[in-house]
């Protein structure tokens, strides 16, 4: 812990030196800072961010968004911790942030439960905690200040409504579906799985297998390989993120089957990262529901509000779309709200920021 504090102090000094060095031409170095609250000697805001890991393209985009927002130039000192998908590492990271007396703690929690104790420690230390992406389930809401992320159940509902409409449009009578789930206990898994389970019941689909792929390509491939070996009839695979879909597609091809609208198996996915929507344009992924990872500026807005003495919304959902290979389904309707389905073209891919 001491080591880490020293390392932070050192990097602060180094950064300060760098800043002065960059000032050039004898200028006042502090004028290089773009801290928009003016005042050249405004102190940097120290932010500790406990990130889940680096399991997917979505996660990489999310980390980049946070790093570019909470930069020196923007007036922040970011202490970034990658927990390698382990909650115990996240708990240790949060305790380190408390020791280091950071101004804010940002947590992207791996799973929903198990946070009460450590968040109470942060609260006792008077450090606001902002939850991003997945949710926490705590006994006392005051253990965190605000949350921003996606409505994962809604994402799943959109995907299932799309499948129902697509099957109708194409005359597909029977749905034999496999669910490659995300990390068990993560909000993104809970919401997407729940929506599928509901749709299976409501539409009389046959759920052939349901197993976690831990949101990674390697595990997605491994799980799909073992499911295919059993030889059951499968015509749809519902992957709970793009990386699992990449792995599942490889496994399906290796088993001598064809993916896509004219093939044996339709692959569905979530996230819409660049490679994901590219595969959607090609048809290897038939439908891809958006999950936006660019949370940096959203979290910064919360911090700015708190710095100005305001109260941010306790929970804020990000607006997201749905993308497909074809225009067979123009829109899906959930609880009376229409969501237009975007057919993926090269232009859509070129515009993608992640
Ligand atoms: O879908 C997946 C990532 O929590 C929304 O985590 C996030 C999910 C995302 O690993 O790719």
Q: Report whether 277 contacts 289 (CB < 8 A).
A: no
Q: Is 59 in the pocket of ligand 1 (CB under 6 A)?
A: yes
How many C-beta atoms surround the C-beta of residue 311 within 10 A? 9
How far does the centroid of ligand 1 lie from the alpha carbon of residue 59, in Å? 6
Residue in the structure block whose two tokens are 């792929």: 213
Question: Among the residues of 80-115, which ranges form H helices?
Answer: 87-99
How far does the centroid of ligand 1 lie from the alpha carbon of residue 298, in Å? 17
Predicted local distance difference test score (pLDDT) of residue 184: 98
Tokens of 301: 């807005």
* Residue ranges, CATH 3.40.50.2300, the chain: 44-149+294-317, 152-292+320-350
How far does the centroid of ligand 1 lie from the alpha carbon of residue 77, in Å? 25
How far does the centroid of ligand 1 lie from the alpha carbon of residue 128, in Å? 24
Predicted local distance difference test score (pLDDT) of residue 47: 98
Which residues are 343's β-sheet partners?
324
CATH superfamily of 44-149+294-317: Response regulator (3.40.50.2300)
- If we measure between CA atoms, which residue out of 240, 231, 129 comes closest to residue 184? 240
d(CA 151, CA 192): 9
* Non-local CB neighbours of 323 within 8 Å, separated by 6+ positions: 272, 277, 280, 287, 288, 289, 290, 341, 342, 343, 344, 348
Phi then psi dihedrals of residue 317, to 5 deg: -95, 145
How far does the centroid of ligand 1 lie from the alpha carbon of residue 215, in Å? 7
Phi then psi dihedrals of residue 179, to 5 deg: -110, 115
Q: Is 271 in the pocket of ligand 1 (CB under 6 A)?
A: yes
d(CA 266, CA 258): 9
d(CA 134, CA 143): 15
Q: Report whether 46 contacts 103 (CB < 8 A).
A: yes
Is 2 strand, coil or helix? helix
How many residues would you count in the chain?
354
Q: Report whether 19 contacts 72 (CB < 8 A).
A: yes
Predicted local distance difference test score (pLDDT) of residue 40: 55
H or E element at residue 287: strand 287-290
| Pocket probe mutation, ligand 1, options 59, 152, 184, 320, max atoms within 8 Å of Cβ | 59
Q: Is 246 in the pocket of ligand 1 (CB under 6 A)?
A: no
Residue having the nearest C-alpha atom to atom 8 of ligand 1:
188
The topology (CATH level 3) of 152-292+320-350 is Rossmann fold (3.40.50)
Q: Is 244 in the pocket of ligand 1 (CB under 6 A)?
A: no
Predicted local distance difference test score (pLDDT) of residue 35: 42
Predicted local distance difference test score (pLDDT) of residue 176: 98
Predicted local distance difference test score (pLDDT) of residue 41: 62
Q: Is 179 in the pocket of ligand 1 (CB under 6 A)?
A: no
Predicted local distance difference test score (pLDDT) of residue 107: 98
**DSSP symbol at 256:** T
Phi then psi dihedrals of residue 24, to 5 deg: 65, 155
Strand order in the sheet with 104-107: 76-82, 45-51, 104-107, 129-132, 146-149, 315-317
User: What crossing angle do the helices spanning 274-282 and 242-254 adopt, rounded to 10°?
Assistant: 40
Q: Is 241 in the pocket of ligand 1 (CB under 6 A)?
A: yes
Tokens of 57: 């393209």
Phi then psi dihedrals of residue 142, to 5 deg: -75, 0
Q: Is 134 in the pocket of ligand 1 (CB under 6 A)?
A: yes
| Pocket probe mutation, ligand 1, options 109, 133, 219, 272, max atoms within 8 Å of Cβ | 133
Kind of pairing, strands 146-149 and 129-132? parallel
- pTM for this structure? 0.89
Residue in the structure block whose two tokens are 């120290």: 46
- If we measure between CA atoms, which residue out of 197, 203, 50, 31 comes closest to residue 119? 50
Predicted local distance difference test score (pLDDT) of residue 21: 33
**Segment-wise mean pLDDT, segments of 10 residues, the chain, 354 residues:** 40 40 33 43 91 98 98 98 98 98 98 98 98 98 98 98 98 98 98 98 98 98 98 98 98 98 98 98 98 98 98 98 98 98 98 94
Sign for the CA dihedral angle at 85, 53, 115, 182 comes to: negative
How far does the centroid of ligand 1 lie from the alpha carbon of residue 205, in Å? 25
């Amino acid at each position: 812990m001491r080591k880490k504090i020293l390392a932070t102090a050192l990097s602060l000094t180094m950064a300060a030196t760098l800043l002065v060095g960059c000032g050039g031409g004898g200028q006042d170095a502090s004028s290089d800072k773009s801290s928009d609250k003016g005042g050249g000697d405004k102190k940097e805001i120290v932010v500790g961010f406990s990130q889940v890991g680096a399991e997917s393209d979505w996660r990489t985009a999310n980390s980049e968004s946070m790093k570019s927002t909470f930069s020196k130039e923007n007036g922040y000192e970011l202490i970034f911790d990658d927990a390698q998908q382990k909650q115990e590492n996240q708990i240790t990271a949060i305790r380190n942030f408390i020791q280091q007396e950071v101004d804010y703690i940002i947590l992207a929690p791996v799973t929903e439960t198990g946070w009460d104790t450590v968040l109470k420690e942060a609260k006792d230390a008077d450090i606001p905690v902002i939850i991003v992406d997945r949710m926490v389930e705590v006994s006392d809401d005051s253990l965190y200040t605000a949350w921003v992320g996606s409505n994962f159940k809604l994402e799943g509902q959109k995907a299932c409504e799309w499948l129902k409409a697509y099957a109708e449009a194409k005359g597909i009578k029977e749905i034999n579906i496999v669910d490659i789930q995300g990390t068990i206990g993560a909000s993104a898994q809970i919401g997407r799985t729940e929506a599928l389970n509901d749709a299976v019941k409501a539409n009389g689909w046959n759920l052939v297998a349901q197993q976690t792929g831990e949101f990674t390509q390697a595990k997605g491939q491994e799980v799909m390989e073992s499911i295919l070996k059993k030889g059951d009839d499968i015509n749809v695979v519902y992957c709970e993120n793009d990386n699992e879909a990449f792995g599942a597609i490889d496994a399906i091809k290796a088993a001598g089957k064809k993916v896509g609208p004219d093939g044996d198996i339709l692959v569905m996915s979530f996230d819409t990262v660049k490679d994901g929507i590219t595969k959607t344009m090609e048809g290897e992924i038939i439908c891809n529901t958006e999950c936006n990872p660019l949370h940096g500026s959203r979290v910064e807005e919360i911090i700015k509000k708190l710095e100005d003495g305001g109260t941010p919304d306790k929970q804020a959902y990000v607006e997201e779309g749905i993308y497909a290979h074809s225009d067979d389904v123009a829109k899906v309707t959930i609880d009376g709200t229409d969501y237009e389905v975007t057919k993926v073209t090269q232009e859509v891919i070129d515009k993608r920021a992640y």
